[in-house]
Structure 1
Amino acid sequence: MRTAVVWDALRSVLAERTAATGREALDIVDAGGGTGGFAVPLAELGHSVTVVDPSPDSLAALERRAKEKGVGVRSLQGDADALGELIQRDSADLVLCHSVLEYVEDPLSALTAVAGVLRRGGAVSVLAANPVASAIHRALAGQFDEARAVLGDPRGSWGERDPTPRRFTAGALAELLGATGFAVGPVHGVRVFSDLVPSRLVDGEPGAAESLAALEQAAAAHPVLRDIATQLHVLGHRA
């Protein structure tokens, strides 16, 4: 339910790249892919997947998950902004950059590295935290000063204790992708309602989870609701 919107976009770009290249098995890099929540299902679809992540514990969990599913996933320890040192240039059809730009030292350098490993026409899938949603969530938690701080901070942070160093509006993501040479696709909202709806309204209610997932998909491209989503998702293509 929380990633249905992202998977819809990924299925679309996978079909597009398969048709464009004539290859059923694509070369995919998951930068910051952690324990393989996206990488393993993509490998199950028959694609060649490499996960780059700085955490050895996460990579060990990835290998266990891949083994349980009976698929092979290549794992490399390293940071997203060092992608060019780990992955051969012009070798990937798709790069996932999910929940990465918030934490890297320089998002511009990280996306420049991503562009370098993509083949011409290849795509990057970017998923990043949204500051507007953070302000809403802090206000609902009664942290009104922190909510106001998010709105006034250029990085979208609510303070020193904020575990997320920076967040991105839709405009900021589009600008960042454009500056690194990508043709920018539409931005979609991820988790517009699912982080706001009390779990008691979903758990144990027949059909509630499916209905909420359908609502999320309907809201993903809504011109107003999209911009209050917990995360924003956008595809960029290497020109």
Structure 2
Amino acid sequence: MARQLDEQIAGRFPVGQRLRVLDVGMGQGTQALRLARLGHHVTGVEQDATMIAAARDAVAREPEGIRERVRLVQGDGRDTGVHFLPGSFDVVLCHGVLMYVEEPDPLVAGLARVLAPGGLLSLLVRNGDALAVRPGLSGDWSSALAAFDTTSYRNRLGLEVRADRLAALTATLDGIAAPLHAWYGVRVFTDTAANDAALPDDLETLLAVEERAGRTDPYRGVAALLHLCGVRG
């Protein structure tokens, strides 16, 4: 995912430009900190108190120069219009958030509103076109059969959440003047791995396979997650 994001940033902005980045639903701040270390100015928004506390601890351990480039805001990603002016950011990230939002279109429209012209919107969503893959590969045939006709599923935390279909999100991005520029699959072959699975000795080879599959048809279409990149007109 980081490699995909870096590829899109490199293709849109001059080398060395310090970008204004908004990370909505940043979790513990993994991407936010990574981008701050690369020299960008990052604002992270997170609603969960435990997650934002972890992010603050992680930022506090960074050198002063990196800490100065990170701003953390506790809040709901749907309130971007309250916190930020239109066109405030060059890059907006919203990774692993839409599956918890019943109606994603207003949230995505709010993200696009704070994106500067020519800016990059990066979404990571559950792939609604491939919900039958995980239960099918696990031999759970009844769940696989039911998954063909729904965009709802139970995630690994045991929560009932929702997935997004590529065609629907493509239409949404068109409607908010941030049309789809590129898309990738994420977790094509590794989605059935256990949460506590040990990292394999050939991790770099595994990542190379996933990266190749994530940009190649037909493999990317059956990935567990989709990484969609829209560009603000």
Tell me the TM-score range normalised by the shorter chain. 0.7 to 0.9
1:12 has 2:13 as partner: no
Q: What SS is found at the alignment partner of 1:188?
A: strand
Q: How does 1:1-239 map to 2 (within 5 A)?
A: 6-19=1-14, 24-70=17-63, 71-72=66-67, 73-153=70-150, 155-157=151-153, 163-196=159-192, 203=199, 205=201, 208-239=202-233
| Residue 44 of structure 1: how far off its partner (Å) | 0.5
- Evaluate the alpha carbon distance shift between residue 198 and residue 215 of structure 1 in structure 2; reply closer, same or farther with a 3 A threshold: farther
With 228-237 and 189-198 compared, the bigger mean Cα shift is at 189-198
Percent identity, aligned pairs only, is 32
Q: CA deviation at 1:23?
A: 6.6
Stretch of structure 1 that moved more, 222-231 or 38-47? 222-231
Q: 1:130·1:232 contact (CA, 8 Å) conserved in 2?
A: yes
Q: Deviations over 1:136-165 (max 9, x none)?
A: 212333432222222111x24369x96252
Name the CA shift for 1:121/1:58 in 2 (closer, same or farther; >3 Å). same
Q: 1:62 to 1:198 in 2, by over 3 A?
A: closer
Choose 179-188 or 213-222, whichever is displaced more: 179-188
Distance in 2, matches of 1:204 and 1:150, equals 30
Greater alpha carbon shift after TM alignment, 190-199 vs 103-112: 190-199
| Distance of aligned partners of 1:138 and 1:162 in 2 relative to their CA distance in 1, 3 Å threshold | farther
Distance 1:199 1:150, change over 3 A: closer
- Encode CA deviations 1:89-126: one digit per residue, 9 max, x unaligned: 21100000111111124211001101111111111001
Q: Matched residues in 2 for 1:40 and 1:199: separation?
A: 23
Contact 2:9 2:120 in 1 (8 A): no
Deviations 1:47-103 (A, max 9, x none): 110111111221111011112232222111111221111122211000001111111
- CA offset at residue 192 of structure 1? 0.5
- Counterpart of 2:172, as a letter, is L
1:55 and 1:200 map into 2 onto residues whose CA distance is 23
Alpha-carbon separation, structure 2, partners of 1:172 and 1:163 = 23
Counterpart AA for 2:149: G
Provide structure 1 residue ranges, at least 5 long, that are not aligned to the other structure: 1-5
Q: Is the 8 A contact 2:188 2:214 kept in 1?
A: yes
| CA RMSD between the two structures | 2.5
* Cα distance between partner residues in 2 of 1:62 and 1:225: 34
Task: Give the direction of change, closer, same or farther, for the CA distance of 1:55–1:213 in structure 2 (3 Å limit).
Answer: same
- 1:16/1:144 Cα in 2 relative to 1: closer, same or farther (>3 Å)? same
Secondary structure of 2:163 counterpart:
coil
TM-score by length of 2: 0.88
**Residues of 2 paired with 1:203 and 1:33: CA distance?**
24
